[in-house]
Amino acid sequence: MIGLLKGMATTMKHALDGETFTVEYPEEAPEVSPRFRGVHKFSQERCIWCRQCENVCPNDTIQIVTDKQRNGEQYNLHVGQCIYCRLCEEVCPVDAILLTENFEFTGDTKHDLVFNKEQLKNVPWYNDLDPLASREPDRGSWVGEGEGEVDYQ
């Protein structure tokens, strides 16, 4: 009986202390750690079209189209198919593809989640955080470079 009452007392203590551990999203944004891997951001200015990211991607999320002179034409990335392993960022020699801390993206159909290079460029930095600063501080990112209109859809 004592154990039973102990359990009841413990739950009542929790009920009365009024503390909650859930948060009211979206009014209260959850804390995202600086290393968090979210939606990608791509810089056409930096990309050298070496296709390392396309090759390393474990589930063919990245699709690159170049012309015969190896000039980049398309850079498509399916953020709904991506498993956010960050291997593309890891192998990129020029930091042209980065994973921001942004985790909020929506689409009405899965096709809406196929981002082309313009959409990828317009993914906003999350709270102006430099994603590389906490991951690999010796590689600088390009926060502030090439700001553009934000257009998720």
**Member of 21, 67, 108, 128 binding other proteins (CB under 8 A):** 21
User: Do the beta carbons of residue 92 and residue 52 sit within 8 Å?
Assistant: yes
Q: Distance between terminal CA atoms of the chain?
A: 59
The nearer residue to other proteins, 117 or 126, going by C-beta atoms, is 126
**Member of 90, 118, 147, 151 binding other proteins (CB under 8 A):** 90
110 contributes a contact to other proteins by CB under 8 A? no
User: Do the beta carbons of residue 35 and residue 82 sit within 8 Å?
Assistant: no
CA 116 to chain centre: 15
Count interface residues toward other proteins (CB under 8 A): 38
Structure tokens at 115: 């981002």
Q: Catalog residues that contact other proteins under the rule CB under 8 A.
A: 1-4, 6-12, 14-15, 18-22, 24, 31, 33-37, 56, 58, 83-87, 90-91, 134-137
